[in-house]
Amino acid sequence: MPKGSQDSDSPAAPTGPPPPATRAQALVTAALEIVDAGGLEALTMRRLADASKLQLPAIYRVFSNKQTLLDEMAEAILAEALVDSRAGDWEAEVTLLARQLRRALLAQREGARIVGGSYAAQRHSLAFADRLVGVMQQAGFTGVAALWATSTVVCYVLGEALEEQGRTEGAVEKLDFAGARQTYPQLYATPVEEFVNFDGRFEFGLGLILGGLRERLRGAGAAGRGQ
């Protein structure tokens, strides 16, 4: 067999850099891992280049600046918030989407900061908003009301996740400082330790929002019948 003939029938090994989309996805994954390990402040373009074994200019050829990178990181998180299943009515669907968004944010360290700091109109952010607006329209909200009902839910979820991810160790103990119960008697007449029961307070607050939306729809219906 002539030398080299064995390789002539084998598929050629891929050469050159990966396609831009593939490289961008790999960089986003690496960036999220850096944040998981050290927090958002640990993420720099230089550190990302080192972790990816690339030169810094190669990073900037994919992402023109850090905000562009953060926008794509937000997209990766929001991709996990879109669920395939659909609930039976609008309240159940809003609940499903809100819980899934919260789960996606909490699955990534500083997920709420990453998503909350991005206003990029991209595929997953628009798809999530489109679905939630559609649910609000199904419920009976129209125009700006459907948009604001959607933003109310999204901002609530973001705020709760931000609070939970920003929690410091010993938060409950810090509430019970000397003289606190005498100085703030109304506050300390409640079970203040429940302030950090994030699951419970999330569900409570979501219930309040749904109740308010429900009443808004009833009011609009009553006004329409009175015309």
pLDDT in tens, 69-97: 999 999 999 999 988 878 789 999 999 99
Classify residue 103: in a domain, yes or no.
yes
Same structural domain, 145 and 88: yes
Classify residue 8: in a domain, yes or no.
no
pLDDT in tens, 166-225: 987 766 677 777 788 888 889 888 988 898 899 999 999 999 999 999 999 998 765 544
What is the reported pTM? 0.83
Q: What does the alpha-carbon distance between residue 143 and residue 116 come to, in Å, rounded to a whole number?
A: 24
Q: What does the alpha-carbon distance between residue 193 and residue 175 come to, in Å, rounded to a whole number?
A: 8
Same structural domain, 53 and 162: no
Taking Cα atoms as reference points, which of 94, 112, 96, 113 lies closest to residue 104?
A: 112
131 three-state secondary structure:
helix
Same structural domain, 159 and 91: yes
Same structural domain, 135 and 23: no
